[in-house]
A and B are shown apart, each in its own frame.
Chain A
Amino acid sequence: MRTCGATPGGPSLDGIDVTTQTIIQGVVLKAGDDGVPNGTPAGNAHVRLLDRNGEFTAELPTNLQGQFRFFAAPGVWTLVVQAPGARVEQQVIAAQGVPAELIISL
């Protein structure tokens, strides 16, 4: 059981037994007027998880802090993040017991 509260990027893992789960999580940040991400969280972006064959596996909106979390299985996955006027794809390798932490810029 992980007990420290601070987690880079994704939501807190307090209360989750990470040893039994294969976690993919992170935060989606907006770009500023200059096109550079300025750290503002993108709440209500849509994060879609595709399996190794590109098949839909799950989707959720980010929370107000721009965060998301999936409980997947070990292997290669693709995230597709959508928001008005933006779409980003990112591949991620997930492993049981070691949460994959992502920072995604729109």
Chain B
Amino acid sequence: MSRDTSLVSGDWVAENINNPKVVIVEVDEDTTLYEQGHIENAITFHWRDDLQDGLIRDLISKEKFEALLSKSGISNDSTVILYGGNNNWFATYAFWYFKVYGHQDVRLLDGGRKRWELDARPFVADVLTRTATRYVAKERDNSIRAYRDEVIAAIGTLNIVDVRSPAEFSGELAAPAHLPQEQGQIKGHIPTAKNIPWSKAANEDGTFKSDTDLKEIYVGAGVDLAKDTIAYCRIGERSAFSWFVLHELLGVANVKNYDGSWTEYGSLVGVPVAVGA
């Protein structure tokens, strides 16, 4: 859990594109991006079709995760490099997912697609087919995943970090502004949550700020790192980004991603809600 073991640069990826031990995986919110062009030798996972259960709202089962990685040619000893659009939101979600199922060596491309594009690095259209493997996942690690009851119990006692934009936190918007503002949930946030938008941790090109700056962002906003921390957003992707910052870059052990997030909490009957800044 450190920058050295969790994050790679564009130069590193460029040098390892043909490294047989490395599997590059693109995960996007806009799933048409991969088809338009991607890093050479990268495969893609679809955030919904591949990573959502499809029947109930949950992660895919251990067996389905094993099948997905096996058919994708990922081995237990592969170095998996994740990247994607929208400042790596869905790539960090996939990173968290790999950690939930215990993958040993998974890393994120700093800045994702955006920085790669801004650096004018090449994309290709060719789709690589990898030789299938027999991947064996571990049981889910629930020490990095929060469920709704522990979120409710954390109100007023533990750190709850709402990483959405200030407009969503206050209740002005119901979703990120690239999506229609027609959501089933009520608007607002979990009482006692601190609004530390995910974007505070990133530079404008999508790369992460320095460890010193990152720590100051959370501690300066009143997060007591000695206490357990739960991060949430709307559907668990942006909070995976902030979870990555705290847990992987800063090495804070007791941090969970609440992937149920506001779409679950904002639909619960009778739980407390706060509005305003």
Which residues on the B side are within 8 Å of A16 (C-beta)? Answer: 180
> Are B120 and A58 touching (Cβ within 8 A)?
no
Closest Cβ of chain B to A44, distance in Å, is 6
Given contacts A21-B181, A51-B165, contact A44 B87 (CB under 8 A): no
Ranked 4 nearest A-B pairs via Cβ:
A56-B199, A58-B177, A58-B178, A70-B177
A21 to B86, CA, bound (A): 23
> Are B172 and A56 touching (Cβ within 8 A)?
no
Interface mask (B180-219 → A, CB under 8 Å = 1, otherwise 0): 1110000000000000010100001100000000000000
Interface size of A as a range: 20 to 34
* A72 CB-CB contact with B under 8 Å: yes
> Are A84 and B178 touching (Cβ within 8 A)?
no
* Partner-A contacts on B (CB < 8 A): 30, 33, 36, 85-87, 113-114, 117-120, 165-167, 172-173, 175-182, 197, 199, 204-205
Nearest to A70 among chain B residues (CB) is: B177
Given contacts A57-B165, A60-B86, A61-B85, contact A72 B117 (CB under 8 A): no
Which residues on the A side are within 8 Å of B167 (C-beta)? Answer: 51, 55, 57, 73
Which residues on the B side are within 8 Å of A22 (C-beta)? Answer: 181
* Partner-B contacts on A (CB < 8 A): 16, 20-22, 24, 44, 46, 48-49, 51, 53, 55-61, 64, 69-73, 80, 82-85
A82 to B166, CA, bound (A): 23
Which of A21, A24, A53, A61 meets B33, CB within 8 Å? A61
Which of B113, B114, B118, B173 meets A57, CB within 8 Å? B173
A55 to B173, CA, bound (A): 14
A24 to B181, CA, bound (A): 13
Closest Cβ of chain A to B87, distance in Å, is 7
> Are B87 and A59 touching (Cβ within 8 A)?
yes
A100 to B167, CA, bound (A): 19
Closest Cβ of chain A to B4, distance in Å, is 27
Q: List 25 A-B contacts (CB under 8 A).
A: A21-B180, A44-B117, A51-B165, A53-B166, A55-B165, A55-B166, A55-B199, A56-B165, A56-B199, A57-B165, A58-B176, A58-B177, A59-B178, A60-B30, A61-B30, A61-B85, A64-B36, A71-B175, A71-B178, A72-B173, A72-B177, A73-B172, A73-B173, A83-B117, A84-B117
Closest Cβ of chain B to A90, distance in Å, is 15
A71 to B175, CA, bound (A): 9
A48 to B176, CA, bound (A): 11
Which residues on the A side are within 8 Å of B165 (C-beta)? Answer: 51, 55-58
Closest Cβ of chain B to A91, distance in Å, is 15
Which residues on the A side are within 8 Å of B33 (C-beta)? Answer: 61
A85 to B30, CA, bound (A): 24
A53 to B175, CA, bound (A): 18
Given contacts A51-B165, A71-B177, 13 further A-B pairs with CB under 8 A are A20-B181, A46-B118, A51-B166, A51-B167, A55-B166, A55-B199, A56-B165, A60-B178, A61-B113, A70-B177, A72-B177, A82-B205, A84-B118
